Amino acid sequence: MYRKAVVLLLILIGYLLQSTMIRILPLGGVAPNFLIILTSCFGFMRGKKDGMYAGFISGLILDVLFGELIGFYALIYMVIGYLNGFFASIFYPEDIKLPVFLITSSELVYCFIVYVFRFLIQGKIHFGYYFLHIILPEIVYTIFVTIIIYKVILNINEWLEDLERRNI
Amino acid sequence: MARNRSGRNKINIPSKYVLLALSVICVIMMVLSYATDMMSIVPQTVAGYTVIPFQKAISYAGNWLFNRSESIRELEELRIENEELKETVKQLTIRINDLTTDKYELAELRQLMALDERYSDYPTVGARVIGKDAGNWYSTFLIDKGSNDGIKVNMNVMAGAGLVGIVTSVGPNWATVRSIIDDDSNISAMVLNTSDTMIVTGDLELYSKGNIKFSDLRDEDDAVAEGDQIVTSQISDKYLPGISIGYIKEINSDSNNLTKSGYLTPVVDFEHLDIVLVITQMKQTKD
């Protein structure tokens, strides 16, 4: 119960940061993708199911507020969360290399899917431009933010697991 | 790993089936939202009362803090500037006298040209921009007025003197605006002085260079030149006529020798949108 509330709150905060921070920080109009970080983190920290749910909720918020097709982002984020869950068995909290690698890959896959389904389909074939001006900055900011907030998410997760152990 | 928490009397469905079920739900939602309006009412109302209030608060707080820190920093600068300005005021007073004469002349000439902006008559509602599309791919943004303030889908949005975009979805206290530089945006426009129509298309790639694309301009007499003003056309079915979009920056003949295309510089600075005006009058259409 605690976990659901906390995860929901984290996702909400992530979305708010992502959509309002961009107007305050001078990042050249590109924001780090907090929702991918959260989805991916819950995937490899907690397993397929939690990653999947976190992704589904994250995507749904984006869909409702900005999407034209409701369910599009929900599906992408959900599958990304699920796939990250496969790495739960080789995840060690002390090692930051795997999280950074997984989050970067998730981000890359996410951007690529968005490009293919929303841009390539309209005949916009300059992948190089989109890669350099949108995907690459987004990935760099996301990695940067990951390194900062990874510990925070990790601590929240450990605190939640502690709570659950005591309650059961 | 804490994945298998036994001791719970809950049935454990394997995760791949849950994934399958949720995927099917997503696809159903996509089809529903594509084919009907059903999906746009309930979730958007829910969002209006859950996410949007936070977003408004953060946006207001952010603006307030930003203005506060600016004003403290500026205080010292202002004192120095004040001295300098007093000096310039003296010099300028002399120049004003010269210019007043010119001013009357200009007003007269303007009247002759009938450059009165037609769209100043449209009824508008002011709104504050409270958020930008969370992805980096689109140029849509949120404003803090919605259906409670009389905003409807397809209303035109302006900032200052030019067209910003169009309302694409509305909640009770918020609305999304798709700007004209968005990749999905197509507007029927015309050249102000020759009334030749054209299509103005937003393009993410071009806007980083400060341009928007236009195409399908028929101009057999070569009357259209760089620097001409582009406004929304009468034949557009969503945009009110006569709203300024921008000025032609570059114009080229297409390979078919019938039409021309090129780039225009928008009037609005899309990087620094804060207050926008929503025109509450809608374009009259047949249905």
B123: three-class secondary structure by DSSP: coil
Distance from CA of A70 to the nearest CA of B (A): 5
Residue whose C-alpha is closest to residue B188's, from B251, B236, B238, B118: B236
Residue B79 lies in a domain: no
Q: Which domain holds residue A43?
A: 2-163
Distance from CA of B157 to the nearest CA of A (A): 17
B235 and B216 Cβ atoms separated by less than 8 Å = no
Q: Which domain holds residue B197?
A: 122-281
Distance from CA of B59 to the nearest CA of A (A): 7
Residue B61 lies in a domain: no
The count of structural domains within chain A is: 1
Residue A168 lies in a domain: no
ipTM of this model?
0.78
Tens digit of each residue's pLDDT (9 = 90 or more) over B205-261? 787 777 888 988 887 788 888 888 888 888 888 888 888 888 898 888 888 888 888
Residue B161 lies in a domain: yes
Tens digit of each residue's pLDDT (9 = 90 or more) over B78-136? 888 888 988 888 788 878 877 887 787 777 666 555 444 555 567 888 888 888 776 66
Contacts of B29 in chain A (CB under 8 A): 63, 70-71, 74
Contacts of B208 in chain A (CB under 8 A): 133
- Residue A25: per-residue pLDDT: 61
User: What CATH number corresponds to the domain at position B194?
Assistant: 2.40.10.340
Contacts of A108 in chain B (CB under 8 A): none
What is the dihedral angle through the alpha carbons of A53, A75, A109, B210, rounded to the nearest 10 degrees?
A: -120
Measure the CA angle with vertex A15, ends A64 and A122; round to 5°. 55
Count interface pairs A-B at CB distance under 8 A: 144
Residue whose C-alpha is closest to residue B183's, from B141, B117, B137, B152: B137
Contact call for B142 and A71, based on CB within 8 A: no
Residue A159 lies in a domain: yes
A136 CB burial (10 A radius; 0-12, 13-18, 19+): middle
Among A16, A30, A133, whose Cβ lies nearest the Cβ of B55? Answer: A16
- Residue B3: per-residue pLDDT: 47
Distance from CA of B44 to the nearest CA of A (A): 6
Residue to mutate among A2, A23, A117, with most B CBs inside 10 A, is A23
User: What CATH number corresponds to the domain at position A114?
Assistant: 1.10.1760
Residue A41 lies in a domain: yes
Distances from the Cα of A82 to the Cα of A15, A50, A73, A79, B73, angstroms: 20, 8, 14, 5, 49
Rounded to whole angstroms, how far apart are CA atoms A126 and A107? 19
A92: three-class secondary structure by DSSP: coil
Residue B198 lies in a domain: yes
Contacts of B130 in chain A (CB under 8 A): 20
Contact call for B30 and A119, based on CB within 8 A: no
Rounded to whole angstroms, how far apart are CA atoms B147 and B166? 15
**pTM of full prediction above 0.80:** no
**Residues 139 through 168 of chain B touching chain A, CB cutoff 8 Å:** 140, 142, 168
Tens digit of each residue's pLDDT (9 = 90 or more) over B42-75? 777 777 777 778 778 877 777 787 777 778 778 8
- Residue B131: per-residue pLDDT: 82
Residue A67 lies in a domain: yes
Tens digit of each residue's pLDDT (9 = 90 or more) over A66-97? 767 788 899 999 999 999 999 988 988 888 88
Distance from CA of B3 to the nearest CA of A (A): 7
Residue whose C-alpha is closest to residue B185's, from B174, B177, B173: B177
Contact call for B15 and A47, based on CB within 8 A: yes
Tokens 């389904």 correspond to A117
Residue to mutate among B37, B60, B132, B136, with most A CBs inside 10 A, is B136
In a 13 Å sphere around the CA of A66, the CA atoms on its Cβ side amount to: 24
Confirm or reject contact between B206 and chain A (CB < 8 A): no
Residue B38 lies in a domain: no
Average pLDDT over residues B157-176: 87
Among B7, B44, B208, whose Cβ lies nearest the Cβ of A168? Answer: B7
Handedness of CA B268, B269, B275, B278 (dihedral sign): positive
Residue B183 lies in a domain: yes
Distance from CA of A14 to the nearest CA of B (A): 10
Contact call for B30 and A71, based on CB within 8 A: yes
Residue B235 lies in a domain: yes
Would you place residue B137 in the very low, low, confident or very high pLDDT band (cuts 50, 70, 90)? low
Contacts of A64 in chain B (CB under 8 A): 43-44, 46-47
Residue A59 lies in a domain: yes
- Residue B6: per-residue pLDDT: 46
Distance from CA of B277 to the nearest CA of A (A): 19
Residue A121 lies in a domain: yes
| pLDDT higher than 80, residue B263 | yes
Contacts of A122 in chain B (CB under 8 A): 183
Residue A105 lies in a domain: yes
**Residues 46 through 105 of chain B touching chain A, CB cutoff 8 Å:** 46-47, 51, 54-55, 58-59, 62, 66
Residue B180 lies in a domain: yes
Nearest Cα residue in chain A from B40: A64
Contacts of A31 in chain B (CB under 8 A): 132, 134, 136
Distance from CA of A145 to the nearest CA of B (A): 16
- Residue B78: per-residue pLDDT: 86
Query: Going along B147-228, which residue ranges are E strands?
Result: 156-159, 162-170, 175-179, 186-191, 197-201, 212-218
| pLDDT higher than 70, residue A22 | no
